[in-house]
Amino acid sequence: MLGEALREREDAILRRWTDVVLETYPARTGEVMRREHDRFANPLGHAIRTAVSDLFVAVTGESEDVTLGEPLRDLVKILAVQELAPSQALAFVFRFKDALRLELGTAAASPAAAEALARLDRRLDSAALAAFDGYVACREQLLELRRQELRRSQSWLEEKLSQRYAVQESP
Q: How far apart are CA 122 and CA 130, in angstroms?
A: 12
- Give the single-character DSSP code of 40: T
Amino acid in position 160: K
pLDDT category, 141, cuts 50, 70, 90?
very high
Which pLDDT score, from 0 to 100, does residue 148 have? 92
Q: Are 48 and 78 in contact (CB under 8 A)?
A: yes
The number of C-alpha atoms within 13 Å of 36 and in the hemisphere containing its C-beta is 16
Work out the angle between the directed axes of helices 10-22 and 86-104 (0-180°, nearest 10): 160
pLDDT category, 111, cuts 50, 70, 90?
confident
